[in-house]
Structure 1
Amino acid sequence: MYTSKTEIVVRYAETDQMGIVHHSNYPIWYEAARTDFIKSIGMSYSDIEKSGFMLPLLELKSCYKGAAKYEDELIVTTKIKQISFTRITFYYEVYNKNSNILINYGETMHAWTNKELRPLNMKKHAPDIYDLMAKLM
């Protein structure tokens, strides 16, 4: 199973009054990591969109196991958890780079749609994109 790694350095603006990363930043990091994942397999999100396909979010899960603080160096790992002709689910783990401690994990489920956000079968409409992602499982 292919896994990509994205490095994040916690910015001051991402912390709350307690000095830890606010929970709302993790989905933003998931998006950055998902974008890196797609780029690392030889295409970009914008290439997918230019081809007429979108990946709107259907579901987001996030579990907090620890805390990150200002200037912590983090690694977000990303892999495909599940793929079907109409949906794809990405799985993420966020680690403190220095201690290698897992501080968060989560997943996002997306629908394959056209530009009008109508669901479609990617195996039928873009078998090259579907097959590339399916073989990474």
Structure 2
Amino acid sequence: MYINETKVVVRYAETDKMGIVHHSNYYIYFEEARTQFIKKTGISYSQMEKDGIMFPLVESNCRYLQGAKYEDKLLIKTWIKELTPVKAKFNYSVIRENDQKEIAKGSTLHAFVNNNFKIINLKKNHTELFEKLQSLI
């Protein structure tokens, strides 16, 4: 299984009055980590879109275990948990680098759709891309 690692440093603007990262920012971290995951495997979102494949988010969740603070260095581990011809589920583990504690974990579920947002079967319509994603599990 391929696991990508993306590093993020918490910016001041991402914290709230309590001095911890606002919960909504974890989804931004997940998006950055997923984008880096895709890039590092030789796949590009922009090329997928040019090929008529959209990858909308249809479900997300995050469990917050501990708070991150300004200037904390975070490591986001990302992997594909589940893949079918019509959807992919990514899992994320957010680790604070200075103490190696997992501070959050989550997942996002994405559908494969065409430009009209109709579900497509990636295995049938874009076999090479499906096989590339499948090889990462």
TM-score range, shorter chain: over 0.9
Give me the whole-angstrom Cα distance separating, in 1, the residues matched to 2:75 and 2:51. 30
Distance (whole Å) between structure 1 residues aligned to residue 111 and residue 136 of structure 2: 18
Structure 1 residue runs of 4+, over 6 Å off? none
Report SS of the residue matched to 1:68. Answer: coil
Spell out the pairing of 1:22-37 with structure 2 (5 A cutoff): 22-37=22-37
User: Is 1:85 paired with 2:93?
Assistant: no
Q: How far did residue 50 of structure 1 move?
A: 1.1
* C-alpha distance in 2 between matches for 1:92 and 1:135: 19
Q: How does 1:118-137 map to 2 (within 5 A)?
A: 118-137=118-137
Q: Distance between the aligned counterparts of 1:38 and 1:45, measured in 2? A: 7
Provide the residue aligned with 2:115 in structure 1.
115
Q: Distance in 1 between matches of 2:50 and 2:29?
A: 23
Q: Which residues of 2 match residues 48-87 of structure 1 at below 5 A? A: 48-87=48-87
Structure 1 residue 116: Cα displacement: 1.1
Q: Kindly provide the amino acid, as one letter, of the partner of residue 16 in structure 1.
A: D
Instruction: Provide the secondary structure at the position in 1 that maps to 2:52.
Output: coil
Name which of structure 1's ranges 42-51 and 77-86 shifts more when overlaid on structure 2: 42-51
User: So what's the TM-score if we normalise by structure 1?
Assistant: 0.98
The aligned residue for residue 17 of structure 2 is 17
Aligned Cα root-mean-square deviation (Å): 0.6
Corresponding position: 1:96 with 2:60: no
The one-letter code sitting in structure 2 at the alignment partner of 1:99 is D
Q: Deviation at 1:70? A: 0.2
Aligned residues: 137
Alpha-carbon deviations, 1:39-85, whole Å to 9, x = none?
01012111111111011111001000001000000000100000000
Structure 2: tracts of 5 or more residues without a match: none
- Percent identity reads 46
